[in-house]
C-alpha cells in the first residue's frame, strides 16, 4: 500500500484480497450474483463491479447472461420498479388498480414488502388491506400505481408461502395433448405420461375459475380434457357460444 494522491491509501495494481476473508468460490459467487442483479431493473454500478473483480483478482465476469426483461420492455416498466423499490424500502403504502384472475378490476391499497421473480414473471408480495391478507400481485396487471405518504409497520412472515393465493377452489385435471404441443407440455407441466400412440397425458391441479377455461382453450383443438366431466361440459358450452358468434 502507498499513500493516495489526495490522502488515504492506494492499492498496488496487482493487489488481491486475502483468501482468509473470502475464498475463490465465494468471490466468484458474489460477482455472479452482482452481474445477475445488473440484468434486472435494479442496476449495479458498473464501476463498482469492475473494482470488485479487480480486487478479487478475477478478469472475466462476463461468463453468464441472465435477462429478466420481456420482449416489449418500456420506460413505464422501469418507472414501476423504481416506485416499488422506494415504497418497499421506505415502507410506504401504495394503491393501484388490479385485474385479478376472477375478472375483478378493483383498486387495492397494499403494504408492499418484497419483489419476486418466478415462472418468468415479476410479482409484488404485500399485505392487501382490501383482502386483509398477504397476497402476490403480478406486476403486469398493476395499473394506475400511486405512492402515498402513509407509512406502515409490518414485516414479512417467517413462513412465507411462495405460492400465489387464489380464492378459487383447486380442481384436478387430466389432459390429453397431441405431439405437436410437446414444447408446451414440457414447459408448463410436471406430471407427464407419454402414451404409446404419441399423445401426452398430463395431470395437474388448477384453480377452478374463468381463467382456467381461457387457459385450456389456448391449446386449441390439440388438447382434450379427459376429466373432470364438469370441465368438459363447461368447455362445450363456451365452444358453442364461440361458434354462434362466428356463424
Domains of the chain, start order:
8-56 (no CATH), 75-151 (2.30.30), 170-245 (3.30.70)
Task: Report how far residue 231's alpha carbon sits from residue 208's, in angstroms, rounded to the nearest whole number.
Answer: 9
| pLDDT reported for residue 168 | 76
What does the pLDDT look like over 42-94, one tens digit per residue? 555 566 666 666 666 655 556 566 666 665 556 777 888 889 999 999 999 99
| pLDDT reported for residue 9 | 58
Task: Report how far residue 59's alpha carbon sits from residue 219's, in angstroms, rounded to the nearest whole number.
Answer: 47
If phi over 0 gives left and psi between -120 and 50 gives alpha, with beta otherwise, what is residue 64? Answer: beta
Q: Contact, 115 vs 84, CB < 8 A?
A: yes
Q: How confident is the model at residue 156 (pLDDT cuts 50, 70, 90)?
A: confident
Task: Report how far residue 63's alpha carbon sits from residue 239's, in angstroms, rounded to the nearest whole number.
Answer: 49
| pLDDT higher at 210 or 16 | 210
Q: Contact, 100 vs 211, CB < 8 A?
A: no
C-alpha cell at 179: 405431439
What does the pLDDT look like over 182-202, one tens digit per residue? 999 999 999 999 999 999 999
Angle at 16 between CA 15 and CA 20, to 5 degrees: 135
| pLDDT reported for residue 199 | 96
Amino acid at each position: 500500500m502507498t499513500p493516495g494522491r489526495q490522502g488515504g491509501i492506494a492499492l498496488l495494481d496487482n493487489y488481491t484480497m486475502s483468501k482468509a476473508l473470502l475464498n475463490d468460490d465465494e468471490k466468484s459467487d458474489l460477482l455472479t450474483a452482482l452481474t445477475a442483479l445488473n440484468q434486472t431493473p435494479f442496476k449495479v454500478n458498473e464501476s463498482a463491479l469492475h473494482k470488485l473483480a479487480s480486487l478479487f483478482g478475477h478478469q472475466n465476469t462476463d461468463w453468464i447472461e441472465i435477462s429478466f426483461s420481456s420482449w416489449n420492455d418500456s420506460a413505464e416498466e422501469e418507472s414501476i420498479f423504481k416506485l416499488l423499490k422506494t415504497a418497499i424500502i421506505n415502507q410506504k403504502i401504495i394503491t393501484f388498480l388490479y385485474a385479478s384472475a376472477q375478472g375483478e378490476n378493483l383498486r387495492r391499497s397494499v403494504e408492499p414488502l418484497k419483489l419476486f421473480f418466478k415462472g418468468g414473471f415479476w410479482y409484488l408480495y404485500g399485505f392487501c388491506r382490501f383482502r386483509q391478507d398477504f397476497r402476490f400481485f403480478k406486476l403486469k396487471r398493476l395499473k394506475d400505481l400511486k405512492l402515498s405518504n402513509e407509512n406502515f409497520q409490518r414485516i414479512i412472515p417467517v413462513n412465507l408461502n411462495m405460492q400465489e393465493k387464489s380464492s378459487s377452489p383447486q380442481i384436478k385435471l387430466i389432459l390429453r395433448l397431441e405431439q405437436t404441443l410437446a414444447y408446451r407440455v414440457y414447459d408448463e407441466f410436471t406430471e407427464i405420461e407419454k402414451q404409446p400412440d404419441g399423445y401426452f397425458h398430463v395431470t395437474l391441479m388448477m384453480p377452478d375459475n374463468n381463467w382456467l377455461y381461457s387457459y385450456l382453450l389456448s391449446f386449441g383443438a390439440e388438447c382434450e380434457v379427459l376429466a373432470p366431466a364438469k370441465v368438459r361440459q363447461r368447455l362445450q358450452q363456451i365452444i358453442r357460444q364461440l361458434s354462434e358468434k362466428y356463424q
